[in-house]
Amino acid sequence: MHTNQKLVIAGREFNSRLFLGTGKFDSNELMEKAIIASGTEMVTVAMKRIDLDNKDDDMLQHIKHPGIQLLPNTSGVRDAKEAVFAAQMAREAFGTNWLKLEIHPDPRYLLPDSVETLKATEELVKLGFIVLPYCQADPVLCKHLEEAGAATVMPLGAPIGTNMGLKTKEFLRIIIEQSNVPVIVDAGIGAPSHAAEAMEMGASACLVNTAVAIAEDPEAMAIAFKKAVEAGRTAYEAGLGTQSINFEAQASSPLTDFLM
Amino acid sequence: MFSDELRKIDWDKTTEKIYSSTDADVRRALSKDKCDVDDFMALISPAAEPYLETMARLSRKYTLKRFGKTMSMFIPLYLTNSCTNSCVYCGFHVSNKMKRTILKPEEIENEYKAIKKLAPFENLLIVTGENPVAAGVDYLAKALDMAKPYFSNLKIEVMPLKAEEYAELVRHGLNGVICFQETYHEKNYKVYHPKGMKSNFEWRLNGFDRMGQAGVHSIGMGVLIGLEEWRTDVTMMAYHLRYLQKTYWKTKYSVNFPRMRPAENGGFQPNVIMSDKQLAQLTFAMRIFDHDVDISYSTRENASFRDHMATLGVTTMSAESKTDPGGYYTYPQSLEQFHVSDERTAAEVEKALKKLGVEPVWKDWDQSFDHKSA
């Protein structure tokens, strides 16, 4: 059967289906410990947090590890034009064409701008970027992003940083069902149980940041998420059993008597 | 292209998997909100037979939720029985000594008018044999143009075309294409379709991709029950359906399970016979597998069976069909492609459906939706 399927994005294999964000930690040391403990192989970093001219930037030094794919994100940009410019800066500075595209013109809820995100994805793919767009849990938008050449889609479970869990569950379900590219649930995952739930539904991976960063013990919380993501994935691949009872013993067969 | 996907699926292993489905596999499938192809295999397997009533209930529930108490009505019109293929089971086989007809424009128009007198049909299915020279894309385009004043939704069931040919017909008002793969068993496909364009398995198989690429709104699929192990064949179709839904996500899909009867058309004897009970099981399984797909029954099925299934999963039906060219007006006595079992008039079918609490829907599309901005 289909157990232990590796996650593949743009031809690269990942052993871990947990992606980690690097904001909100109280020190770069703690962040590094959490990264290592989580077993993640994909770490996103806001390019606005990094001193792009300084090769020895402290935060970056704590993120860079062999086997970890650095995923610069454009957090802070407000439209496609800014995103394309920022992406080119990031490619130069980080030496990678992988990009987490984030466009949120709204500073309160940091909700992704669907129109600009699609525009920027089209453009960036043409420029040779491997684009992982953060987006609304909008199944039609996700198909458009896929057609534009996005390497994954990263729909939100709930607004960033809210730890509210999978508020968009029914839409995520449709996105997962329809997608030809990996679906990474991003934003809103506030507890390991949320991550497990997303993975049980068939999400390809989860991106977690706030829940780990603001935990009393980020390193331990990273381990908890690692286990939750693995458990959820294994359950998905093993074929989840009965969730609802759609059937009961039937004494008579009124609908199918005509076939007897 | 789907041929790349199909190559990864082993026919024999799939058959074995279906037949080794257990009671637990069936119960798991029945308990899920969304089934995958593995679940579908369990639901069509012999292990699911004790659950037929449960499956009927679920199928009815999902059908009601998605389609309500309605039945979409259509009527086929055969424009020609001229065909260059030699499908061993078909009445229009190239070497059958029979009168071949290609309807002329004025005859086509008469057929349209005659159909409109039967019932308020708005969904028309134009059918031809495969004769690209005498009844090719230009001929079809003309027939579509002529149909527009009479019908609001136009589908074709003809030979597989090139993507640009489908696109051309879409510009002439084409809304949907129906094409039966007949069987997904590549090796034996050649035995049933030894000559003519149709002998090219891959061309037919990837025709569905070409329809999707051309932006055809609605795609109808089917396997001919009676050629190969039907459970394996419909499983391949389930894979195909999922692939198409993911790839051409703006398209609407329908499925058909035309079954051959013993000694139909005189010569060819079907290799497998599917019972009513099995067809019902398959229909329920398809609905549980896919809540949204249109399930279409033609008049190959008899009146009583169609009426029973009308509330249990079927969502599209033809009525008063003639399966010979010009059968409604021009040549009412010519040779049919296959024998029609439900011989009721459209008005009688309508009455029967209404009695069951099902509303026949004749019109569910408008040509104004087809106007493309230049």
CB B339 within 8 A of CB B298: no
Active-site residues of A: which are they?
Answer: 100
Kindly state the tokens that stand for A41: 């192989």
Find the mean pLDDT for residues A1-26. Answer: 86
Backbone angles phi, psi at B359, to 5 degrees: -95, 120
- B177 by DSSP, 3-state: which? strand
Res B263: pLDDT:
61
- From chain B, the residues in CB contact with A143 under 8 A are 249
Report the mean per-residue pLDDT for chain A: 89
Residue in B38, B54, B305 nearest the CB of A247: B54
Q: Per-residue DSSP letters for A201-239?
A: TT-SEEEE-HHHHTSSSHHHHHHHHHHHHHHHHHHHHH-
Exposed, middle or buried by CB within 10 Å (0-12, 13-18, 19+), for B228?
buried
Q: Supply A217's token pair.
A: 């013990």
Domain for residue B373, yes or no?
A: no
Find all residues with CB under 8 Å of B249, minimum gap 6, and list them. Answer: A143, A178
Round to whole Å and give the CA distance between A77 and A30.
27
Contact A61, A102 (CB under 8 A): no
Q: Chain B residues with CB inside 8 Å of A245's CB?
A: 31
CB pairs under 8 A between A and B: 58
* Three-state secondary-structure class, residue B246: helix
What is the tally of structural domains in chain B? Answer: 1
User: Cβ(A63)–Cβ(A45) under 8 Å?
Assistant: yes
Q: In what helix (H) or strand (E) does residue A195 lie, and over which residues does it extend?
A: helix A192-200
* CB proximity list for B368: less than 8 A, separation 6 or greater: none
**Would you call A4 an interface residue with chain B, using a CB distance cutoff of 8 Å?**
no
The residue with tokens 């030496």 is: A95
Q: How many CA atoms lie within 13 A of B244 on its CB side?
A: 29
**Residues of chain A contacting B38 with CB distance shorter than 8 Å:** 239
For helices B37-44 and B276-289, angle between their N-to-C axes, nearest 10 degrees: 160
Domain CATH number, residue B346: 3.20.20.70
The answer to whether position B93 is within a domain reads yes
Integer Cα distance of A184 and B89 in angstroms: 49
On whether the CB atoms of residues B214 and B170 are closer than 8 A, the answer is: yes
Q: Minimal Cα distance from A176: which residue of B?
A: B246
| Residue B328 forms part of a structural domain | yes
Which amino acid is located at B85 in the chain? N
Nearest chain B residue to A143 by CA distance is B249
Q: Positive or negative, the Cα torsion across A217, A219, A220, A221?
A: positive
A197, two tokens:
């739930």
DSSP H/E element including A133: strand A130-135
**Percentage of residues of chain A with pLDDT beyond 90:** 63
Categorize the per-residue pLDDT at A245 as very low, low, confident or very high, splitting at 50, 70 and 90: low
- For B136, phi then psi, to 5°, come to -95, -155
State whether A259 and B276 contact (CB < 8 Å).
yes
**In this complex, do A244 and B31 lie within 8 Å of one another by their Cβ atoms?**
yes
Does residue B315 lie in a domain region? yes
3-state secondary structure of B277: helix
Predicted confidence band at A238 (pLDDT cuts at 50, 70, 90)?
confident
pLDDT of residue B225: 96
Q: State how far the Cα of A156 lies from the Cα of A145, in Å rounded to an integer.
A: 14
Cα-Cα-Cα-Cα dihedral of B280, B285, B287, B288, to 10°? 140
Least Cα separation, residue B374 to chain A (angstroms) = 22
Tell me if B86 sits within 8 A of B192, measured CB to CB: no
**A244 part of contact set with chain B, CB < 8 Å:** yes
Does residue A177 belong to the interface with chain B, where contact is any CB pair within 8 Å? yes
Neighbours of B133 (CB within 10 A): 8
- Contacts of residue A126, defined as CB under 8 A and 6 or more positions apart, other chains included, come to none
Question: CB neighbours of B211 closer than 8 A, spacing ≥ 6?
Answer: B163, B166, B177, B179, B219, B248, B251
The answer, for A241 touching chain B at a CB cutoff of 8 Å, is yes
A108 — pLDDT class (breaks 50, 70, 90)? confident
Report the distance separating Cα B266 and Cα B336, nearest Å: 12
Q: Is B292 part of a structural domain of the chain?
A: yes
Q: Which residues contact A43 (CB under 8 A, 6 or more apart)?
A: A19, A20, A21, A22, A35, A63, A68, A69, A70, A71
For residue B312, being part of any structural domain is answered with: yes
Task: Give CA–CA dist A209/B241, Å, rounded.
Answer: 38
CA-based nearest distance A248→chain B, Å: 8
> Is B356 a domain residue?
yes
Q: How confident is the model at residue A57 (pLDDT cuts 50, 70, 90)?
A: confident
Closest Cα in chain B to A249:
B54
Residue with tokens 């007949």: B182
Domain span including residue B356: 2-367
What's the DSSP call for residue A49?
G
Give the separation between CA A62 and CA A58, rounded to whole angstroms.
Answer: 7
| B158 to chain A, closest Cα gap in Å | 29
Q: What is the DSSP string of A88-117?
A: HHHHHHHS--EEEE-----TTT----HHHH
| Nearest CB neighbour to A246, from listed B58, B249, B277 | B58
Contact criterion met (CB < 8 Å) for A247 and B31: yes
Predicted complex ipTM: 0.77
Q: Cβ–Cβ of A255/B56 closer than 8 Å?
A: yes
pLDDT > 70? residue A100: yes
A249 touches chain B (CB under 8 A): no
Tell me the C-alpha distance between A63 and A58, whole Å. Answer: 9
Instruction: Please name which of B95, B115, B90 lies closest in space to residue B258, comparing C-alpha atoms.
Output: B90
Is the minimum CB–CB distance between A179 and chain B shorter than 8 Å?
yes
Per-residue pLDDT of chain B (374 residues; tens, 9 = 90+): 999 999 999 999 999 999 999 999 999 999 888 899 999 999 999 999 999 999 999 999 999 988 989 999 999 999 999 888 988 888 888 888 888 899 999 999 999 999 999 999 999 999 999 988 889 999 999 999 999 999 999 999 999 999 999 999 999 999 999 999 999 999 999 999 998 889 999 999 999 999 999 999 999 999 999 999 999 999 999 999 999 999 999 999 999 999 987 765 567 888 999 999 999 999 999 999 999 999 999 999 999 999 999 999 999 999 999 988 999 998 877 666 667 889 999 999 999 999 999 999 998 888 777 766 43
Rounded CA-CA distance B350/B34 in Å is 33
Contacts of B57 in chain A (CB under 8 A): 247, 255
Which residue shows structure tokens 């790839």?
Answer: B247
CB contact under 8 A, B56 and A246: no
C-alpha distances (whole Å) from B254 to each of A260, B160, B219, B310 are: 28, 17, 6, 15
Residue A168 region, left (φ>0) first, then alpha (ψ -120 to 50), else beta? Answer: alpha
Mark out chain B residues that contact chain A at CB-CB < 8 A: 27-28, 30-34, 38, 51-54, 56-58, 60, 245-247, 249, 276-277, 280, 304-305, 308, 312
Q: From its phi and psi, is residue B157 left (phi > 0), alpha (psi between -120 and 50) or beta? A: beta
Cβ distance A259 to B277 less than 8 Å, yes or no, reads yes
User: Using alpha carbons only, how large is chain B's radius of gyration in Å?
Assistant: 20
B373/B370 Cα distance (integer angstroms): 9
Say if residues A179 and A145 touch (Cβ distance below 8 Å): no
